[in-house]
Structures are given as C-alpha cells and as structure tokens.
Structure 1
Amino acid sequence: MKNKIIMPLMALFMTIAGSCIWGEMNVYAYSGTSLTSQEISLYSAHPKYAVKVKSCADKATRASQNLYKEYTLWQGNGDAHRHAYWSALMTRETTENFAWKAGLAHEGLEPGYKFEKQDDDTKMDIQNNYSGRMLGQKYPSKSDDYMSVFIKNICSSGGLKRIRIYTDKKSKNDKTISGTMTQYVGYYVKTTDGGLKKK
C-alpha cells in the first residue's frame, strides 16, 4: 500500500514544488506512516510549508526517541511528547492555523470534523497537538531544545494526554511493546514521567 502512495506523491510534489522542494520534502511521514489524502491535498497547496512540517516532524520524532523508551512511543508518554512538540514547532515555523490543519490532516481529518466521533487514539493526538500549538504561541522565541525539555516536564507532571499505561500484571496486559507489558485504559489518562530514559 505504501508504494502505491509514494510513487504518485513523488510525481505530485515534483510537479507542484519542483525537484528542489521534493528533495527536501522526500515523503512527509513520521513514525513510518504514509501520507493521508488530507495531507496530500494540504501540502500540495502549500509546498513550502510542507517542507517545514516535515522538518518539524523529524525533529519531534528524534527528540521523543532520545527522551523516551520505545514502549511509550505509541499511545503513551513519548507519543504525547512527540505530538505536542511537533505542533509547537509547526506553530512557530508556519502559523497556528496551518499547524492545526496539518495536525488534523495527519489524522485523516479536515476542519469541520466531529471530535466526539473520533476514536480515542485520534482524540489523544488532537488534544496533545492543541497543547503544543498553545505552547508554540506562548513561547515563540525559546530555543527548540528548551521547548522539548519544557514539554517533557509538562508531560511528566500530567499536562498531556495518553491512553496506554505500563503494567506488571499479565492479566492487565493487552499489548507487549519492546518487552514491556502495557494496557489500553481509555481517553484522558494523564501523562507521567514513566518511560523516560535515564541520562
């Protein structure tokens, strides 16, 4: 499926943005996911912003992978950090409105979507994206590294959202990630400092 999306995308971006932009853009995706049709439409209309969004996504992914253990990077604390940091960076590199649209597009949504009709994973991402955009607006001149650590501290103190916790009970385990038992617990579970890598 991925190759069916990537090849048309290459032609699309080379036509719209030119080979130079495409070279920087490559295939906008983070965590190994392909572009949604909403992302294709949004970035086709705004190729220069697409390059910035890709750069912000890469930076957020690297930061979260450096700070958090692998088992937190899906539906956990690391995932929450990545989304909030990505949105904060996008807000500063593009606009708050475009960052909002890009975050929705990544979930396969467009403005006018119904929040209450989304699954818990999508709601979690939307909420963390919102927190990141607010921080990006509030601290436009702080360094990227400062923002990453600042968001990590917010995450550790329960300021972001997650839907998966880490358990030591086999009866509670519904998915083992990188050798760690985890449990889906539902929407609006506060984040913690769990899963942080020790320096």
Structure 2
Amino acid sequence: MKKMFLFLTLILTFQTYSQSNLKSFFKLSGPKRTWVLFHPFKAKKALQISKETKRVADSIKKSNLLDGDASGGQVDAFRHAYWMARLTQELGKRAARSLGKAHERENYLTYKKSKLEDGVIPDEISSIMDLHNNEEGLNLISKKSKVSKNGLIYRIVNAIKSGKMKIIKKDKNGNFLTCDGKIIKNEELRGKWKNNKCLETSKKE
C-alpha cells in the first residue's frame, strides 16, 4: 500500500512539474526529495520562497542592520527565521517545519561527504542553532498573515537584537570560541560533527 502511494505521488509530482523543475527535483538531496513527494503542490512555492530568502539575506548581510555574519552569526539566524516565517505564511507551519528538518538532515549528509554549506562544513552545533532559529521564525507569523515582507524583516531583526535567537560564539576576528572564551583551533574542528563550539544569545552588546 505504501509503495502504491509513493508511486502515485511520483506520477502526480512529474505531471505537476515542468521539465526544468524535474531536473531541479533530481538534484535535491534525499531528505528534500522526500519532502517534495509528500508536498507536491507546495514544492514550487517553497522553491520560490527559498530563492527569495537568499536574496533578502544577501541584502541584509550588506546592510548595517545585523552583524554581517552569514555563517553562524546574526545574518545566519535571520536567514533561517525568515525562511521559516515565509514558508509558514504561504504554506503553513507544519509543512514549513518539516522542510526545515529535511534541510538539517541534508546538512548531516553534506558533513558526511565533507562538502561545504555556506562556506563551511556543517556540524552538530550549527544544526542545533538552525533548528532553534527555525522555531523562532515559525512562531513569528501565521498562515495567510497579511504582514508585509518589510514588516516581517523588521520583526525578525528585532527578535534577533532582543536575543530570542541563537548564534555561534566567536571573537572579533571570527575565531570560534568555547563557552569559556577560548579560541578553538581549526584542526580541532576539521572533520568533526561534534565539537566545542558554543551557542550564545543573538543579542550583541
């Protein structure tokens, strides 16, 4: 019965997608392909929102609204919160949360293959941070909310500056720090899913 359901879902997905979108589908990781199969009518909108999120986060990085750090910093937190908030607004919280979790499962596979995500190899502490910030984004808005994109941006920025989200502890030179403030050498991080990086509040003094 389950195999028949998946087979019918595949047919439905292929009929819904254009040829270019089908190529994109097969480039997805296993976790994200599974999400698409279970959300065939929401996948196109999710892709649009994902592209929108990248554009908005890139603009925020270039501005002085946040710290400019897209790999473990406030901009990283913003990207995840905005992505989840916009997905919730358009698709609903349940579908948004499941896609966020699929993305983190994908990151673990990326780590296993020693590939980069946003310029660094993913690790456990980054995944914990992302899932926390995802939840904050999910709770900032409701489905079909009329909040504008600009309104949502400032809602997220305020949440970050008030310390509701998490970032990875670093010094002013961008070195990762332990929770007691010691610099973590690069060789101590290389190839390790679990490490001594430390999460801290997104509020900066």
Per the normalisation by structure 2, the TM-score is 0.65
Aligned to 2:162: 157
**Is 1:83–1:125's contact at 8 Å kept on the other side of the alignment?**
yes
Q: Give the aligned partner of residue 74 of structure 1.
A: 71
SS across alignment from 2:200: strand
Letter matched to residue 88 of structure 2: T
Deviation at 1:67, TM superposition (A): 1.0
1:57–1:168 distance in 2 versus 1, CA, 3 Å: same
1:161–1:189 CA contact under 8 A, matched in 2: yes
Q: Which amino acid in the other structure matches residue 190 of structure 1?
A: T
SS at match of 1:162: strand
- Structure 1: segments with no counterpart, 5+ residues: 1-11, 29-33, 110-117, 176-183, 195-199
* Cα distance change of structure 1 residues 19 and 50 upon mapping to structure 2, 3 Å threshold: closer
Give yes or no for contact 2:91–2:143 (8 Å, CA) kept in 1. no
The alpha-carbon deviation at position 147 of structure 1 amounts to 0.3
CA-CA distance at 1:94 after TM superposition? 0.7
- The match for 2:41 is 48
Residue identity matched to 1:158? G
Partner of 1:88: 85
Task: Give the whole-Å Cα distance in 2 for the aligned partners of 1:73 and 1:86.
Answer: 14
Per-residue CA deviations over 1:97-148 (Å, capped at 9, x if unaligned) read 1111000001117xxxxxxxx8211111100000001112289220112101
**Partner amino acid, structure 2, of 1:68:** K
Pairing 1:137–2:148 present: no
Task: Map 1:1-199 onto structure 2 (within 5 A).
Answer: 16-18=13-15, 20-21=17-18, 23=20, 27=24, 35-69=28-62, 72-108=69-105, 119-137=124-142, 140-168=145-173, 172=183, 186-192=197-203
Query: CA RMSD for the aligned pairs?
Result: 3.4
- Check 1:26–1:145 CA distance in 2 against 1; reply closer, same or farther (3 A cut): farther
Larger radius of gyration: 2
Q: Which amino acid is the alignment partner of residue 55 of structure 2?
A: R
Count of residue pairs the alignment pairs up: 162
SS at match of 2:42: helix
Question: What is the TM-score when the length of structure 1 is the normalising length?
Answer: 0.67
Higher strand proportion: 1
Q: Which runs of 5+ in 2 are unaligned?
A: 1-8, 107-122, 176-181, 187-194
